[in-house]
Amino acid sequence: MNIQLISKNALVGAATQGIGAGIALELAKCGANVTVMARNEEKLKSFVASLPVINEKQKHQYLVADFSDFEKYRGIILEYFKNNSIDILVNNTNGPEPGVALEKKVDDYQKAFDLVFKTVCETTNLALPYMIRQNHGRIINVSSLSVKSPINNLVLSNAIRSAVAAWAKTLANEVAQHNITVNNVLTGYFDTERIKKLIDHEAEKSNQSVEEIKKGREDKIPMKRLGKPEEYGYLVAFLASEYAAYLTGTNIPLDGGLNNTY
């Protein structure tokens, strides 16, 4: 299977490190013109400069945007779509703060909703008119295994990502007639800064060391290891390609088999 995304324009959120970076890198390797979004301009510049260019027409760019400030983000993304259209949208944001239900207030849920749901919905709504006109598009949401089963200490993510999954399935049914696919990738444990922060937070709340908690997570995974960001990129590149033209409205676990052990 030779995935070719030459001349396709992709927009990838939270893409200077971790899963977002793995996705952007693989899409670029397949020939797509990649726009990466994040809040740190210096990291964006450096990352864009590192992306492969496989032909003279391929171009990459960046967009400075902070997902945690929705109104400011809305203004930036509206301006971007005035001059740009995309074929592939990868909705990926930094995750909400960890914590349990008993310690969270209504304002915490609103903040998480703005971060994880409203940014995804706004960006998708802006991308769709072009996709509908050209009768083709790919929307891929970076989600979590918590959609299948809530994860301890991640109540905000559990609640809001489930809302995104239900919205995405509804949208998939509505836009399928335009050859637009909408799929969610349910993320397991990957070797990223996010997982390190979650492990550190869990260690602070317990009597276990960081090493013990990490090993405990790895032991739960049938493959006995954390995922690699590039492995995430392989799946997203497939979903963005013509090979996945008949695959839509799905929740795809990418977790080394962990989902099957729930």
Q: Which domains are assigned to the chain?
A: 9-188+229-255 (3.40.50.720), 191-226 (no CATH)
Q: Tell me the mean pLDDT in the region 75-90.
A: 98
Distant-in-sequence contacts of 66-74, Cβ < 8 A, 24+ apart: 66/39, 67/13, 67/14, 67/39, 67/93, 67/94, 67/115, 67/119, 68/39, 68/94, 68/111, 68/114, 68/115, 70/114, 70/115, 70/118, 70/119, 70/122, 73/119, 73/122, 74/122
For 97-106, write each residue's pLDDT tens digit: 989 999 999 9
Residue 205 in this model has a pLDDT that exceeds 90: no
**pLDDT band with cut points at 50, 70 and 90 for residue 197:** confident
pLDDT in tens, 149-190: 998 889 999 999 999 999 999 999 999 999 999 999 999 999
Do 116 and 164 form a contact (C-beta atoms < 8 A)? yes
pTM, whole model, 2 decimals?
Answer: 0.93
